[in-house]
Amino acid sequence: MSTTATGSTFALEDDVGETLVMYTTSWCGDCLVTKKALAKLEVPFHEVNIEENPEAAALVMRVNGGRRSVPTLVYNGDAASLSNFSRAKLDTFLSRHQLLG
């Protein structure tokens, strides 16, 4: 189950805590694949569209070395880009935070 929080500052780094946040854009194919994988794994997340949230776009650029790389996952202050999606990258991130069931 996901909750979209586009256009808000809900999911900025200091506010997320124990919530998985996925930063996306409307045109990102890797974002769609990541959303489907998270749904299949039944991992809840909040989605933030960086096209509609300048603060979120700035955060994504900051945690990705100046690149607007999406999808970017953030959990408890740890960020990872899943651009060029691979299930192994997703599993590594989720396992690191004990989010796999």
Q: What is the pLDDT of residues 16-72, one digit of tens each?
A: 568 999 999 999 999 999 999 999 999 999 999 999 999 999 999 999 999 999 999
Does the reported pTM lie above 0.75?
A: yes
- Structural domains in the chain? 2-96 (3.40.30.10)
Q: How far apart are CA 60 and CA 50, in angstroms?
A: 8
Query: CB burial class (10 A; 0-12, 13-18, 19+) of residue 25?
Result: middle
